[in-house]
Structure 1
């Protein structure tokens, strides 16, 4: 990925980090979490791929590593 930006990030809580880098680490135990007040309406993810041809984009809704939070 050439670039990746997000509109906000939830601050770290203990050993959990929620930065945008979690979206591309291929680890389902990590997650990007928006940090805006409220339900996150209007938050954005913007990315620019390295190659002009993208074959797949996968998004998992929720913090899938923790069933209680998912």
Structure 2
């Protein structure tokens, strides 16, 4: 699992997420105040897929027929 977004210029190599327990993955970022769009990329062998967000996640249109999650840092 990799975190990809505006904070890494949408580089698909992404920021690795570490599994904490079932369905919980974490990472730490140092971000300035602002709004950041992101997606989570699951990689299994040669297969890649963008994960869908839960209904509890604030999302915005990504301009390509899907959605990005939005993180606000105050």
Q: TM-score with structure 1 length normalisation?
A: 0.34
Task: Please identify which structure carries the higher strand content.
Answer: 2
Higher relative contact order (CA 8 A, sep 6+): 1
